[in-house]
Structure 1
Amino acid sequence: MSVSGLCQICESRPAQERCDNCGTLACEQHYDSEKGLCADCAAQVEPGSDPNSDDVDIHRF
Structure 2
Amino acid sequence: MSVAGLCEICERPDVDHTCDRCGRLVCDRHWDEDTGMCVECGAEVGQPSDRMSPEDMPDGVDTYRF
Please say whether Structure 1 and Structure 2 have the same fold, judged by a TM-score greater than 0.5: yes
TM-score normalised by length of structure 2: 0.64
**Mapping for residues 1-61 of structure 1, pairs under 5 Å:** 1-47=1-47
Q: State the AA in 2 paired with 1:8.
A: E
For 1:46 and 1:6, locate their aligned partners in 2 and report how far apart those are by CA, in whole Å. Answer: 25
Between stretches 5-14 and 32-41, larger displacement belongs to 5-14
Q: State the AA in 2 paired with 1:25.
A: L
- Structure whose alpha-carbon radius of gyration is higher: 1
Corresponding pairs, count: 47
Q: State the AA in 2 paired with 1:14.
A: D
8 Å Cα contact 2:2-2:15 kept in structure 1: no
Q: State the AA in 2 paired with 1:23.
A: G
Shift of 1:6: 1.0
RMSD: 1.2
TM-score normalised by length of structure 1: 0.69
What are structure 2's unaligned runs of at least 5 residues? Answer: 48-66
What are structure 1's unaligned runs of at least 5 residues? Answer: 48-61
Runs of 4+, deviation exceeding 4 Å: none
